[in-house]
Chains A and B, each alone.
Chain A
């Protein structure tokens, strides 16, 4: 479903990706943890096709249409309402605008408000709706829990679990070991552009993964 082969990418003298290879199967949720500057965001951007790697190859089955993306920014237009934003993104994917998704994310009462008038947490919920608008086969998520309150984080967790249960794949980059581990079928630790650990979660809890993470990147 998703494959990365020997990815290399540098920004000047900074090596962001240094030979990263892995694959993700349908139904798999890979949580990648790493300190700032480890190359996590670059990896997601390369997988999404937003950055062309200097060496190596990334392949997502189904191409751009198959990818749902949440980056550091919401990728929404502040002057447009929630509905107008989602209608616009849906039109680019040739799908009808989401109705039920808005209700599930608790956005229906905010649908006609401009994005600029929403709180950080609500903007993040709209960004999640935007990423899911075309029911993508592969979700690439960069710190998706940022700004979410507990209820919204739980809703996102449920949506991601349903996404995986439907045989779809997720690659999740987060600092939040507890939330990331809870959703993951596989866990990877990244440091200096490389995976220093990549293994199935295999029943490990957040505490154990957190300890292993601290040991691995120390």
Chain B
């Protein structure tokens, strides 16, 4: 398969998923509401005299985004089961990698939208400043998101035909999400505390390495997960 074909087919799959989500808006609204509710609960439940908001915010941000992402990832292949469209995709003369990459891109944009809602709300509810660190913070969020969404997209394909796909996806994907989440939380803390970018460059490299390894592995393993 030539690279321009892979790019064209990948975009066809991704844009179709995004159009479907744009039409239904069910998953994005659920995930966004989840983020808002969790952040509100944390805002009211925390004791502001015990731990400073800036110390607590990174953990809360990443816990919230993790579970919102799991909610979102589950839909990636669910919509292919409706009317067995997955059979049509598998029968089409496109590489399995195009299906995976298309789903990955759609999921990244989808989870990215949820993050765009979550981060400003976190800043608002916890009264912390993010604008001066917006660039480095965006780099941390993008790298961490690519990591766990790449793994989540693969597991979503594996679990979608099971009866308890939502539960199974969470159980399978969470152990793989721990490294990027841990590194992302450790990078976010110093950033919000106003430390220089050089302090977190190691975490960014770790996140980038994780992304390269797991996107590569997912591309290799994806055909085996969808072939009957």
List the interface of chain A (C-beta within 8 A of B).
45, 48-52, 63-65, 67, 69, 71-80, 84, 88-89, 91-94, 114, 130
Contact = CB atoms under 8 A, between A and B. Distances in A.
A51 B83 contact: no
Contact of A79 (B9, B24, B89, B227): B24
26 contacts: A45-B228, A49-B90, A49-B91, A50-B87, A50-B91, A64-B92, A65-B93, A71-B84, A71-B87, A73-B83, A74-B84, A76-B83, A77-B20, A79-B19, A79-B23, A79-B24, A80-B19, A80-B20, A80-B23, A89-B88, A92-B9, A92-B12, A92-B89, A92-B92, A93-B92, A94-B8
B174 to A, nearest CB: 30
B85 interface: yes
B71 interface: no
B168 interface: no
Contacts of A89: 88, 92
A94 B9 CA distance: 9
A18 B128 CA distance: 68
Contacts of B94: 92
A76 B85 contact: yes
Contacts of A51: 228
B182 interface: no
Contacts of B79: 77
Given A71-B84, A74-B84, 15 more contacts: A50-B91, A50-B228, A65-B93, A71-B87, A72-B84, A73-B83, A74-B83, A76-B85, A79-B19, A79-B23, A80-B20, A91-B9, A92-B12, A92-B93, A93-B92
Given A49-B91, A84-B19, A92-B92, A78 B228 contact: no
B20 A79 contact: yes
B13 to A, nearest CB: 8
A78 B88 contact: no
B195 interface: no
Chain B interface helix/strand/loop/mixed: helix
Interface string B70-104: 00000000010011110111111110000000000
B91 A67 contact: yes
Contacts of B5: 94
Interface residues of B, number: 24
B82 A77 contact: yes
B16 interface: yes
Contacts of A65: 93
Contacts of A84: 19
Interface in B200-218: none
Given A80-B23, A92-B12, A52 B227 contact: yes
A77 B16 contact: yes
Nearest to B98: A92
Given A48-B91, A89-B92, A92-B93, A77 B24 contact: no
Contact of A64 (B8, B83, B85, B93): B93
B16 A80 contact: yes
Contacts of B89: 92
Closest 8 CB pairs of A and B: A73-B84, A75-B88, A65-B93, A92-B92, A79-B23, A91-B12, A73-B83, A64-B93
Nearest to A68: B91
A78 B78 CA distance: 13
Interface in B161-200: none
A91 B8 contact: yes
Contact of B93 (A63, A72, A73, A88): A63
A178 to B, nearest CB: 27
Contacts of A73: 83-84, 87
A88 B12 contact: yes
Nearest to B82: A78
B9 to A, nearest CB: 6
Contact of B85 (A45, A63, A77, A114): A77
B211 to A, nearest CB: 27
